[in-house]
Amino acid sequence: MMDSLLLAPLAAGIICHGVYNKLEPRQLLWHVALLVLVPLSMTPLLLPLFSNVIWAALAAWAVYLATLATSITIYRLSPFHPLAKYPGPLLCRISKIYFACVSFGGKQHIYYQQLHLRYGDIVRIGPNELSFCTPDAIAPMMGASGMPKAAFWDGLFPLQKENRSLVGLRNPHDHARYRRIWSRGFTAEGIKSYKPLIERRVDQLVENLTQRAGQTVDLAQWFNWFAYDVMNDLAFGSGTELMQNEDAGGLWHLMESAKPTALLIGHLPWLAEYYIHIPAVAKSFTSFAYFALERVRQRYTEGTARRDLFYHLMDEAGLEETPPSLDQVANDGELAIVAGSDTVSPTLSNLFWLLLCNPIAYARLEDEIDAAKISVGDVAAQAQLPYLNAAINETMRLFPALLSGSTRAPLVGGDGHWIGPHFLPDGTTANVHTYTLQRDKRNFSPLPEKFLPERWLSREQQDLLEPSIFGDRTQVVHNTTAFVPFSYGPADCIGKRLAVQEMRMTVIAIMQRLKFCFADGFDQGSWEAEMCNYFVLTMGRLPVIVTRRV
C-alpha cells in the first residue's frame, strides 16, 4: 500500500526531469511550479500514510525531489546522454555546479589544463559542456561558419534583458548587425584618432612613475588605473581620474569585487534570475551599470569635439535608421571599459613581471627600444620592432588576458553543430581552452612553459640569440594557428589592434625613461599564485623599485 501511494510523486519526479530536459525553463515561476507546487499538490495522496498533513507534504516533496535528482544523475551518466562518449570527471558529468565551485577559487585555467592532460583533447567539463584544446577545433567552433555565443553571457548580463552589450549578443544576426556599428570605431582611421588620447595618458603614467623614482610602487595597480582612465576617455570622451586620485572613489575596487560572482553565474546562468534579487550581491553589478549610464548621460549632454568611441556607438554620424538608445550605449560603454582595461592592464603587468624574471629578455628589449629612438606617437615605426612584438606575443601566449577564452553553443532551437567529426546537439556549450592550447608542446616547442620571445623571431635571429635552444630544428614547433589570445572569427576581439597599439606605446614610453627591479623581499612566484581567473583576470601586487634612466 505504501509503495503504491509513493508511486505518484515518484512518477511526477521523472516527468519533471523530462520537462526540464526539454524546455530548460529559467524563470523563477517555472521553478516554483515544478519544484514546489507540483510535489505539494500530491500531499492529499500521501495523507493515509502519515499522522498529519505536514509530514505528508514533506514526504511527497522529498520523494519527488529525490526521484528528480536520481533521474537526472542516471541520465547524465548513462550511455544515452549525447555527450556520453566524452571523458571527464564524474562530478563534472553530473552537474556544472562542481566546475563552477572550482572556478570560484580563481584557478579554473589550471584545472582545465589538468583535465586535458588527464582525459585528452576533448573533456566533458559539465553535463552538457565540452572543452577542446586543439587548433583544429578553432575555426569550426568560432569561425565564419561557427557557433554563436553560449549561455554564459545570459548569466553574466542578467540586468541586460534589453539592449544587451555586443559581447553578450547570442543571436548571430543581432550580433553581426551591432558589430557593424562597433567596427566603425575600430577602423584604421578610428584607431589613429585615439592616438593623442592614449599618448596623453601614457605621459601621465610615466610622469607619475618618474615622480616616484627611488620608491617602491605597485606597478600592477598603476597599469590598472592607467588602462581604466584610457578606456573611460575612449568610451565617454572624458572620464575618470584614477591615476590622479589613486582610485579614491573605489571604482576599480567596485569592478574587481564583482568578478568572482560574475564567473560563478556565468557557469550557472540559471542562477542569474535569483541572485539579481539579492541586494548585497547585486550591488556591485548595479553600481557599475549606474555609473556607466551616468557617464553616458553626461557625455550625451555635454558632447565633445572628438570622435571617440562614443561617437560611433551613439551613431552621432546618423548612419543607422534607428540610432541606439542611451541604455544600449551605456551597456556598450560599460563593456568597452571592462573589455579594454581588464585585458590591457594584466597583459602589461604580466609582460613586466616576465621581463623582470628574465633579465636577458629585459636587456634585449631595452636595447632594441634604445636603438630605435622612436617617439611614443610613432605607432607605425613601433609596429616594426621585432623584439617588442615578440615579447608582447609571448606574454599573451603564456597569459592570454582571457585565460580560458570564450564559449560558444549551437544556435538555440537549431539542429546542432559539427566540430569536425564531433556533433554538438542544441543545448551543448563548448570552448577551445586558450591557456592549455597555447602552452601545449605540440603547438609551441621547445620549452612551451618558458617566456621565450625569441620563438617569435626569424630563424636567423634565433640562431644568433639562442643557438642552444633553437639549434635542433627538429624540436622547434611554432604553430601560430594555435595562438588566439584575441579569440577568432566574427566575434573575436574588436579592440585587438587598438590594444596592441596601446601596449606598444606604453612599453616604449616606460622603457625609454625608467628602469624597474623587483622590490626587496618580493617573492616572484607569488605573482602567478595570486593571479586569479574570473573570466577576466584579477592580479596581485607587483612591487617594483623605480629608477630614472635619463
CA dist., res. 215 & res. 405, Å (int) = 37
Residue 137 Cβ vs ligand HEM, minimum distance, rounded to whole Å: 13
CA distances 368 to 277, 379, 507, Å, are: 54, 15, 12
Burial 129-168 (b: 16+ CB within 10 A, else e): bbbbbbbebbbbbbeeebbbbbbbbbbbbbebeebbbbbb
In this chain, which of 134, 487, 501, 533 binds ligand HEM, going by CB under 6 A?
A: 487
Of the pair 16, 292, the CB lying nearest ligand HEM is at 292
In this chain, which of 42, 499, 505, 542 binds ligand HEM, going by CB under 6 A?
A: 499
493 is an annotated ligand-binding site residue: yes
Residue 189 Cβ vs ligand HEM, minimum distance, rounded to whole Å: 16
DSSP 337-405: HHHHHHHHHHHHHHHHHHHHH-HHHHHHHHHHHHHH---TT-HHHHTT-HHHHHHHHHHHHHS-SSTT-
DSSP-assigned beta bridge partners for residue 419 = 422
In this chain, which of 220, 482, 493, 537 binds ligand HEM, going by CB under 6 A?
A: 493
In this chain, which of 167, 242, 385, 542 binds ligand HEM, going by CB under 6 A?
A: 167
> Applying CB under 6 A, does 501 fall inside the site for ligand HEM?
no
> Applying CB under 6 A, does 485 fall inside the site for ligand HEM?
yes
Dihedral sign of CA atoms 489, 493, 431, 262 in order:
negative
In this chain, which of 347, 404, 436, 443 binds ligand HEM, going by CB under 6 A?
A: 347
Judge whether 407 and 429 are in contact, CB under 8 Å: yes
**Binding region for ligand HEM (CB under 6 A) out of 246-254, 255-263, 418-426, 485-493:** 485-493
**Binding region for ligand HEM (CB under 6 A) out of 69-77, 252-260, 444-452, 483-491:** 483-491
Of the pair 453, 485, the CB lying nearest ligand HEM is at 485
At 535, list the grid cell: 573570466
CA dist., res. 502 & res. 348, Å (int) = 10
Of the pair 180, 212, the CB lying nearest ligand HEM is at 180
In this chain, which of 403, 482, 498, 531 binds ligand HEM, going by CB under 6 A?
A: 498
Of the pair 269, 495, the CB lying nearest ligand HEM is at 495
In this chain, which of 63, 137, 495, 538 binds ligand HEM, going by CB under 6 A?
A: 495
Residue 188 Cβ vs ligand HEM, minimum distance, rounded to whole Å: 15
CA dist., res. 534 & res. 8, Å (int) = 44
Judge whether 506 and 202 are in contact, CB under 8 Å: yes
Of the pair 177, 277, the CB lying nearest ligand HEM is at 177
> Applying CB under 6 A, does 340 fall inside the site for ligand HEM?
yes
DSSP-assigned beta bridge partners for residue 407 = 431
Residue 495 Cβ vs ligand HEM, minimum distance, rounded to whole Å: 2
Residue 484 Cβ vs ligand HEM, minimum distance, rounded to whole Å: 8
Q: Could you tell me which residues come within 8 angstroms of residue 1 by beta carbon, excluding any fewer than 6 positions away? A: 48
- If binding means CB under 6 A, how many residues of this protein chain bind ligand HEM? 26
Continuous H helices in 405-482:
434-438, 459-465, 467-470
Specify the residue for cell string 612591487. Answer: 543
Q: Could you tell me which residues come within 8 angstroms of residue 494 by beta carbon, excluding any fewer than 6 positions away? A: 166, 179, 182, 183, 186
**Binding region for ligand HEM (CB under 6 A) out of 27-35, 55-63, 340-348, 515-523:** 340-348
Write out the binding residues for ligand HEM, residues 352-411 only, by CB under 6 A.
396, 400-402, 406
Of the pair 10, 337, the CB lying nearest ligand HEM is at 337
Write out the binding residues for ligand HEM, residues 294-333 only, by CB under 6 A.
none
At 146, list the grid cell: 561557427
In this chain, which of 494, 514, 532, 542 binds ligand HEM, going by CB under 6 A?
A: 494
In this chain, which of 16, 335, 356, 511 binds ligand HEM, going by CB under 6 A?
A: 335
In this chain, which of 64, 435, 456, 486 binds ligand HEM, going by CB under 6 A?
A: 486
In this chain, which of 6, 92, 336, 482 binds ligand HEM, going by CB under 6 A?
A: 336
Q: Could you tell me which residues come within 8 angstroms of residue 104 by beta carbon, excluding any fewer than 6 positions away? A: 260, 263, 264
Residue 543 Cβ vs ligand HEM, minimum distance, rounded to whole Å: 23
Report which DSSP code applies to 106. Answer: T
Residue 487 Cβ vs ligand HEM, minimum distance, rounded to whole Å: 3
Of the pair 113, 347, the CB lying nearest ligand HEM is at 347
Dihedral sign of CA atoms 265, 270, 272, 277 in order:
negative
CA distances 238 to 14, 95, 304, 306, 342, Å, are: 57, 45, 9, 10, 19
| Position closest to ligand HEM via CB | 495
> Applying CB under 6 A, does 146 fall inside the site for ligand HEM?
no
- CB neighbourhood size of 179 (10 A): 17
Specify the residue for cell string 607569488. Answer: 526
> Applying CB under 6 A, does 492 fall inside the site for ligand HEM?
yes
Binding site: which residues? Answer: 493
Residues of this chain that bind ligand HEM (CB under 6 A): 142, 166-167, 179, 335-336, 339-340, 343-344, 347, 396, 400-402, 406, 485-487, 491-495, 498-499
Q: Where is the binding site for heme, in residues? A: 493
